[in-house]
Amino acid sequence: MIITGRYPNLRLRRNRKTEWSRRLTQENTLSSNDLVLPIFLIDGKNKKKSITSMPDIFRYSIDRLPQIIDKALLKKIPMVALFPYTNQRLKNQLGSEALNEDNLVCQAIRLIKKKYKNKIGIMCDVALDPYTSHGHDGLLNSGKILNDETLKILVNQSLLQAQMGCDVISPSDMMDGRIGEIRKALDKNGLKEVQILSYAVKYASSFYGPFRNAVGSKNILKGDKKTYQMDYSNSLEAMREVALDIKEGADMIMVKPGLPYLDIIKMIKDNYKIPVLAYQVSGEYSLICNGIKKKIIDKKTIIETLMSFKRAGANAIITYFADKIATNLK
């Protein structure tokens, strides 16, 4: 970068001297249009169940969804992301409940589409971990995650969600080749308009603990996910993952977690010029909430962290703060 001029002729503080001037020269903005609201689903009627590891976050029964969607629309949040807490009795080695057209996610899609049509977008996670008895994202055999065998189930899961009315299919499983297989299946079945948001860059992170508790996979997970999720030491590998997924048909790219990987967001945006979403994951959320509660940090930290994603190049952010801060954004 070439900076022309020098002190005292050049005084960068001049543009910071007043509130209106700071607004005028602001390089990045944050609005409700930038936010995606995650929603955790639970079986039953009229249920709102707290999640101990995530302050002020709840699991909701399907019949309570309109309350959440109404508020999201009022706050101009463009999309919600659905995540199920599957009853343990419905889980098995194969994750069969993922293909049940009456599972929690499918019920939620149908309700939202019937009541709201296209007023709000629906994003659905594609992976088997909420449905398997071992807590992994794919099929497990003798301690090994089977890639190609898992693809067949992920394709069928994607087709089911799309047929129910899901707008954005979001494979988070990190199996090789799944974006291409899902894209081909969607196109072949008359679902060319369904978007794919690929979790192309999903790191094997310690920040996922509260989420795994929220969907009921934490205590049953056998081993770790390092054979399919990425090593957090690597950045060039992330570029290869993104390049492959774009070539296979991804419309948007996800980086997960968010804050520790701002450099990755910027690299993707600089290199590929594709819409990028950041996921401010459960561990990030809970750390910030607990810091605020204990008065270690200020509430303004929330906006500061979200703005950092925009500054790095993210088009949107999946955040558990979405409905809490959208009202205060312009």
Report all structural domains of the chain as residue ranges with CATH numbers, in order of start.
29-328 (3.20.20.70)
Residue 330 has what pLDDT? Answer: 62
Residue 5 has what pLDDT? Answer: 85
Q: Is 226 a catalytic residue?
A: no
Catalytic residue among 75, 256, 269, 310: 256
Residue 233 has what pLDDT? Answer: 98
CA distance 188 to 95: 25
What are the pLDDT digits (tens) for 228-254? 999 999 999 999 999 999 999 999 999
Tens of each residue's pLDDT in the chain, 330 residues: 777 888 998 899 999 999 999 999 999 999 999 999 999 999 999 999 999 999 999 999 999 999 999 999 999 999 999 999 999 999 999 999 999 999 999 999 999 999 999 999 999 999 999 999 999 999 999 999 999 999 999 999 999 999 999 999 999 999 999 999 999 999 999 999 999 999 999 999 999 989 888 888 878 888 899 999 999 999 999 999 999 999 999 999 999 999 999 999 999 999 999 999 999 999 999 999 999 999 999 999 999 999 999 999 999 999 999 999 988 786
For tokens 């989420």, the residue is 211
Q: How far is CA 164 from its chain centroid?
A: 20
Residue 228 has what pLDDT? Answer: 97
Q: Is 256 a catalytic residue?
A: yes
The answer to whether residues 238 and 208 touch, using CB atoms and an 8 Å cutoff, is no
Which residues does 191 contact at the CB level (< 8 Å), separation at least 6? 159, 162, 163
Catalytic residue among 91, 202, 269, 310: 202
pTM over 0.75: yes
Residue 215 has what pLDDT? Answer: 86
Q: What angle do CA 239, 240, 246 make, to 5 degrees?
A: 90
